[in-house]
Structure 1
Amino acid sequence: MHSKSSIKRVSFPIALGVIAFAFLALVLLNNVLLNKVRLDLTEGNVYSITDGTHQVLSAIDEPITLYFFFSDKATEGLTSLRNYANRVKTLLQEYELYADGKIKLQIIDPEAFSEAEDKASEMGLVAAPINATGDSIYFGLAGTNSLDDKEIIAFFDPSQESLLEYELSKLVHKLSDPTPIKVSILSSLPIQGGTNPNPMAMQMGQAQTFPEWAVLNQLKQLYQVEMLETNAETIPEDTNVLMIIHPKELADAQLFAIEQYVLAGGKTFILVDPSSDSDSQGTNVMGVPEVSTSNLEPLFTAWGIDYDPDTVVLDGAKGLEIMMPDGMPGRHIGYLGLDKDNIDELDVVTASLSSINGASMGALRLLDDATTSLSPLLISSEYTDFTDLARYQMSGTNPDILLTDFTARNANVVLAARISGAAKTAFDTLPEGVAGTDWIKFSDNIQLIVVADTDLLTDRFWVQSSNFFGETVLQPFANNGDFVVNAVDNLGGNSALLSIRGRGDYQRPFDVVEQLTVEAEAKFREQEQQLQQQLNETENQLAELQNQQADNGSLVLSPEQEAAVESFVAKKLEIRKQLREVQHQLNKDIESLGTVIKLLNIAFFPLILTLGLGLLARRIRYKMSAQYQVKPQAEAKQTPEATKAKTKK
């Protein structure tokens, strides 16, 4: 018989072999069967791709190659940028993983004077300088498809990290479906330029021509644009986005055509206005400009939208400063300058915007019985009130009238919104003149962006033109044009892109460390100000002594001057020493806190986890041992009679 020690000697190598085999088997199982399984425990699932991206990836028919350029060696020491680059690379690898072989990712480090750097430049990527010596880095993405179409992200802006997934998915979608976006525009405003339509100006011989609006010029550069006649009763079948600007008195046949386009799944961008200041309608007998109002009833009601064309939003906190009729600057609370506080930071249409200007804006709400949902894109401040059209019309010659009886309602008002959800037809019968057609009476998901202002489209609210060697150069001072382009771009893409919103904050700063830094820096600045004040006082004293020296004609410092200089030097050295001590204490506090955090992460938490697992294993062994001991004891308790009975059997 083998001794117990020999059994242990034999069983120990066997146990190690079994453990090693089990480990390799689990690794193989993980790589083969669980390679697509991810567990994202972050707040908001910021490291998981959305269902919309999955739909974009599943729609790829032809192979796509993505070239991720990042100057890895040249960015050593740029920790935050490298962290973001790692985030981009990880997300791109997720795209490659879930594309089922339809995406091939190449990660390239374009070192200086290399072929890779030449390739990055040829593909249109931007080299960003990182220091005064002229060193630059690449951090962008280029993609190509089987038709040699190319799309790029010239440089990944860390400040736009919340839009990263949307931008990547949009690039992939454009490569998988390179057909240009077709935008059909129905507008009652003269966005194409031309002659001043004001009849009074024509009668007085003051008719003048004006250029095409910058926003239309911008759209033409990016998309295929078709201008529809103002009385058009059909929407082109190849339309990707229908843009309706300031609709006034549309015929039922036109409204029906718009509705059928929307219910059929057509994406629509609508801009209405209680009073379009940009629509020249002449003046009434009192010399006051006529009001130009637009609406889209009865379609708005059918879509659950509550919009009152007779009400203008006033905002005491966001009023723009303009030149008043008396020639003096003043704040017009009907002309609004919206900033980041009023712009949705999560929707991809508005997340990258910082300012929007407009005038005589209206308010949007949902009706009580609406079956659609409303997601605000632009809102007013809480310091908001309303006025009627008649009063707003009178303010043309005296905007201060709007301040009379102004009362803040302490509530935000929605000025632009994304509308989606189920909707039904607004018509009980076919409009007169509409031939028999496939009448769509219901849609489970319409997609609209509605803006209660049209003035934001006009040049004067967002762009300044100048002449440069005979060429007109446009310089934007607000993001109105970006807003329009983003809306068209978003609506015109794959429907799956509409579900991808901006992500939350990826950064998880150490709040205590930042608080320590802020407090220490505040103390440091206080000491610095004291030093500067003492320096100024001492320099004044020296200047007085030097003036006295000049008056006396002496070239040698007097004892008083020497004492003042020595005092100045001593004070300067002492306060600089204090500043160094403050900075040293700041670094010491941060390092101490960092050491504690490292100890917690490296030792304490793993120790707690190990102890927990050990206790769990011990409990399991105890239960198994107890079960093993119960069985022999039960057999031992059997009576002799029972044993004899078993023997007889």
Structure 2
Amino acid sequence: MEKKKRENYLIVLLAGLIMIFLIYIGSTWGNKLKWDFTEENLYRLSSGSINVVKKLNSPLRIKLYYSKTAANKGTEGIRAFNNYFTYVKDLLLEYVGHSRNNLTLEIIDPRPDTGDEENAITYGIRKFNLSETESYFFGMVVENDVGTEKIIEFFDPGEKDKLEYAITKTIYSVARPAKKKIGILSSLPLQSDLNPYLAQMMRMQGKNPPESWAITELLSEFYQIEKIDPMAQEIKGIDVLLVVHPKNFTEKIKWAIDQYVLGGGNLLLLVDPMAVIDRPVNPSAGFSRSSNLPVLMENWGVKLEEGVFVGDKSLAGLGRVTPEAPPAKMLQIVSCDERCTSPYKDITTTGLYDLVFLLPGSLKILDKKAVPILGTTEIGNTFSASEFELNDPIALWHKFSGGEGRVMGVKIMGMFSSAFPKGITVETKKLTGLTRSKREASIIVIADVDFIHHQFAFKETLFGLALANDNANLFLNSVENLSGSTDLLSIRSKGVKKRKFNVIDEIELEADKETAETVTRINASISEAQTELDKLGAQVNEGNLAVIKSQALNKKRELDKRLAFYKGQLREVKRQGREKIENIGRFFQYLNTLLIPLLLIMGGLIYNTIRSRRNAREV
């Protein structure tokens, strides 16, 4: 008996030691052992983010401000933010885990009238007043030892798909704080070279001085701008090259662009089959509004289809050919919503649901390095038209036939070979250079130029120009992504996925079909009755007025009865569809409620059966 007791004590002691050991393993090594079972790997960093934090060579501090106490005291809508806070915190811990001890995370709950609250306000974290005594913060600060700091002023759950990119960009910006330089090369007057004093003198004389485009002015608020000479032989000293409407470019400047990309330079290229804003002062015969760089583009893996435009009846925007004409849907205008950007899940275009393009071009992908980031719906197609035909939108609409979708924007990343492997000859002088990439480069190509002009990207307000849509955001996103590293460009948006309920969708579709048939019958009955009433009205004269009135009343009563019958059918179809959907909902509600208890009962019964059999064998 004494021996049995000692054995029991020993078992309890060993169990305690094993539990302590497992707790220790779980709290140390267990943090590194994680499995992400979500469909889009929501809790796992992309390789681009991991590379950014691994390349950190100095310590950075992350301060996550979240008013958890205030949220717990707040309404249900505010408390719901706790789940998103947990997700943000877990993601930041992933960054810390990959940073080789160069990132530290501090979580702060800023209470009212404390130094933490003052610091949050000083940093620029957005403050929301929940009551007279409680304030709410949910933002982040990243800072280094020399005082450089960047913030995310508020974590919006609606932008969860861009969360990883926002965090990685903030960390990257603090690690590399210098202002980037953008080189602009264009056949259009994006920048004005006029001295501000001379511009003022021209205004005083009643003249309109040439001015920089609004998009260029906006760009200059974030970057240093440098104009590239179209006759340049070499492009260097810039972080991103912006080439807009490359029309009539010489072989020398094409060579310079080629060498710039081979040297690892990033490029944003805007080409166009017909740039409407390219308006010459003195138009001449044979004047072309198209731009293309076929030799370079095809070498990079993408081609602009010559002489055709992209159209999509489901994306056609409203417009008018002349001021007097009534507004109508026009194939020439592609008014993009989420269907143009969401399928590609690229950080450059994610969240841009209001884009307007005028006669955009179609890009054909020739190499797997090129991936689409912007396109039409599955019924989009190309069409060709002369300038005369473009002035007849109705004829163009009927002439157009849908296709399988077209691409209007691509991103190309990788190593390239030269489009001029043997060099070029300029004025009897032989130019040779790189034949293959020294390092990886990134290129974004968009087949439209008009979308960045202030006519299509901005609108006049009482306070000056304001953004009219997401056109300027697409342009700025492209420049911003290219001005970072290729690691930043490789981050894809995630976390937004519309999961379809196929059974419910089929029920609703069937109900819609039956409803449509009933509505058609109702409209046909109304039309038929109205025709008969019109015929009776045409037969009225002084002699038969009373008879006609009586017949008309009878017809109206008959029509009312028929309408009441059809409306009853309509209600019945809708009720049946609604009941089917509600029954499915109730089934899953009961399943969720009863499944766990049933599993526990079954588990208990199985365990009890096994134990009974084991005891029976021992006896």
Instruction: Identify the TM-score tier after normalising by the shorter chain.
Output: 0.7 to 0.9
Aligned pairs for 1:302-341 (under 5 A) are: 302-325=299-322, 327-328=324-325, 329-341=327-339
Instruction: State which of 342, 351, 367 in structure 2 corresponds to 1:344.
Output: 342
Report the alpha carbon displacement of residue 475 of structure 1 after superposing the two structures with TM. Answer: 1.8
Note the alpha carbon deviations across 1:382-439, whole angstroms, 9 max, x for none.
Answer: 4434333xx3422454444523522222x11001111234532212411113666542
Are 1:413 and 2:406 matched, yes or no? yes
The residue type equivalent to 2:111 in the other structure is E
Q: Any idea what SS the aligned residue of 1:45 has?
A: coil
Letter in 1 for 2:300: W
Aligned counterparts, 1:180-329, within 5 A: 180-193=179-192, 208-209=208-209, 211-237=211-237, 239-282=238-281, 290-325=287-322, 327-328=324-325, 329=327
The answer (yes or no) to whether the contact 1:184–1:226 under 8 Å persists in 2 is: yes
Q: Does the 8 Å CA contact 2:311/2:331 hold for their aligned counterparts? A: yes
Q: Does structure 1 residue 73 correspond to structure 2 residue 66?
A: no
| 69 and 28 in structure 1: CA distance in 2 versus 1, 3 angstrom threshold | same
Paired amino acid for 1:224: Q
User: C-alpha distance in 2, partners of 1:446/1:408?
Assistant: 36
Shift of 1:618: 13
Q: Is the 8 A contact 1:282 1:290 kept in 2?
A: no
> Which consecutive residues of structure 1, in runs of 5 or more, have no partner in the other structure?
196-205, 519-585, 626-649
Relative to structure 1, is the Cα distance of residues 42 and 283 closer, same or farther in structure 2, using a 3 angstrom cutoff? same
Letter in 1 for 2:120: A
Q: 1:285 to 1:427 in 2, by over 3 A?
A: closer
Which structure has the larger Rg?
1
Report percent identity of matched pairs.
26
User: Residues of 1 paired with 2:170 and 2:606: CA distance?
Assistant: 47
Q: Which amino acid aligns with 1:307?
A: L
CA contact (8 A) 1:417 1:451 kept: yes
Q: Distance in 1 between matches of 2:253 and 2:379?
A: 38
Residues 216 and 285 of structure 1: CA distance in aligned 2, closer, same or farther (over 3 Å) = closer
Match status 1:491 vs 2:482 = yes
Residues 229-250 of structure 1 deviation map (CA, whole Å, 9 limit, x = unaligned): 222222123x221111111122
Q: Equivalent residue of 2:369, what SS? A: strand
Q: Alpha carbons of 1:507 and 1:321: their partners in 2 closer, same or farther (altered >3 Å)?
A: closer
* Letter matched to residue 25 of structure 2: L
Aligned to 2:34: 38
Question: Aligned equivalents of 1:508 and 1:401: distance in 2?
Answer: 39
Partner secondary structure for residue 225 of structure 1 = strand
**Shift in Å, 1:610:** 8.6
Corresponding residue for residue 107 of structure 1? 107
Q: Which amino acid aligns with 1:333?
A: L
Deviation at 1:442, TM superposition (A): 4.8
Which residue number in structure 2 is paired with residue 203 of structure 1? Answer: none
**Which stretches in structure 2 are left out of the alignment for 5+ residues?**
195-205, 509-580
Seen in structure 2, the aligned counterparts of structure 1 residues 356 and 443 have a Cα distance that, compared at 3 Å, is farther
Distance 2:498 2:232 in 1: 51
TM-score by length of 2: 0.76
The answer to whether the aligner puts 1:163 opposite 2:168 as a matched pair is no
- Please give the per-residue CA displacement for 1:544-582, whole angstroms capped at 9, x wherever unaligned: xxxxxxxxxxxxxxxxxxxxxxxxxxxxxxxxxxxxxxx
Retained in 2: the 8 A contact 1:312–1:392? no
SS at 1:11 equivalent:
helix
1:496 partner SS = helix
2:444 corresponds, among 421, 424, 449, to 449
What residue number does 1:82 align with?
A: 82
Change (3 A) 1:102 1:610: farther
- The CA deviation at 1:452 is 0.3
Is residue 2:470 matched to residue 1:479? yes
The alpha carbon displacement at 1:47 in A equals: 0.9
CA distance in 1 between counterparts of 2:255 and 2:602 reads 68
Mapped partners of 2:252, 2:284: distance in 1: 34
Q: Letter of the aligned partner of 2:434 in structure 1?
A: W
SS at match of 1:317: helix
1:481-510 Cα offsets, whole Å, 9 max, x none, are: 11111111111112211221111338999x
Give the Å deviation of 1:32: 4.2
Helix, strand or coil: the match of 2:256? helix
Cα gap change, 1:25 to 1:358, in 2 (>3 Å): same
Asked if the contact 1:59/1:176 (under 8 Å) is kept, the reply is: no
Quick one: structure 1 residues 108 and 397, their matched pair in 2 at CA, closer, same or farther if it must change by over 3 Å?
same
- Give the Cα–Cα distance (whole angstroms) in 1 for the partners of residues 371 and 610 of structure 2: 49
